[in-house]
Structure 1
Amino acid sequence: HILRAIGRAWSWRRRMEAGEFGTVRDLAIAVNLAERHVGRQLRLAYLAPEVLKRLTCGRDAIAITEINLSNCAALPWAEQAKAAFDDAEQGDA
């Protein structure tokens, strides 16, 4: 589920960078989703490489939510993994 959302976010990011859509609102209308939802998911395209590696190569994807990842994407890359995975581990305790 999370990996699919990240893939969709990257696709949307490429389309926006190519100029297909000028705003998140234009994109949301085109994909028939709420602007807020599209904006939140679009942030997943800006996750740090370390976070992506842990999600694809480890078991961390099970313990983390899409919303938590989206919030972490706003942080500097150096802080994202700690924020994402430490929070997920504390939620399991």
Structure 2
Amino acid sequence: MTRAKPMPETVTVHIPFRIVKRGGRKEMYLPDGASSQRKMDNTLVKALARAFRWKRMLEAGEFTTIAELAEREDIAPSYMTRVLRLTLLAPEIVEVILDGRQDAQLVLAGLLEPFPAMWARQLELFD
């Protein structure tokens, strides 16, 4: 019978990474080439869901104006307008966001700024 080698009590693992603030939270990024599974940006996904829900409510005639819907949701109409603009994103961009494959620079604050209406231009801009 052979004896097993004794295991050390402490194991130190060195992993190079950097911390980046993103949407008010800190995220850990591995160096290029390191495999990591990307997490979904919940803030961005939630904003997309709200935008499409609001659009559906407006199209269904539940509310006649954005101001009326904004009052019901208890948010500023200007914010609602900026979030509703997310429904104009190219389907490929929406899919990338929902899959959690978006660039670290693609955050809600940036998408609330004006962006091109043409999908081809959006893909160039956000790619």
The TM-score, its normalising length taken from structure 2, stands at 0.59
Tell me, in whole angstroms, the C-alpha distance in 1 between the residues paired with 2:100 and 2:44. 13
Q: 1:76 aligns with which of 95, 107, 118?
A: 118
**Where does structure 2 lack aligned partners over 5 or more consecutive residues?**
1-42
Does 1:33 find its partner at 2:114? no
Alignment of 1:54 with 2:96, yes or no, is: yes
Aligned residues: 84
Pick from 16, 37, 42 the counterpart of residue 58 of structure 2.
16
Q: 1:40 aligns to what SS in structure 2?
A: helix
Contact 2:88 2:117 in 1 (8 A): no
C-alpha distance in 2 between matches for 1:19 and 1:45: 17
For residue 83 of structure 1, report the CA deviation from its aligned partner.
Answer: 1.6
Listed as ranges, the gaps of 5+ residues in structure 1 are: 86-93
Greater strand share, 1 or 2? 2
Range with greater deviation from structure 2 (7-16 or 39-48): 39-48
Query: Matched residues, percent identical?
Result: 33
Q: Which moved more, 1:30-39 or 1:58-67?
A: 58-67
Which has the bigger relative contact order, CA under 8 A and spacing at least 6? 1
Looking at secondary structure, tell me which structure has more helix per residue.
Answer: 1
Which has more radius of gyration? 2
Shift of 1:58: 4.5
The residue number in structure 2 matching 1:66 is 108
> Which one-letter code corresponds to 1:21 in the other structure?
F
CA RMSD of aligned residues (A): 1.7
With the length of structure 1 as denominator, give the TM-score of the two structures.
Answer: 0.78
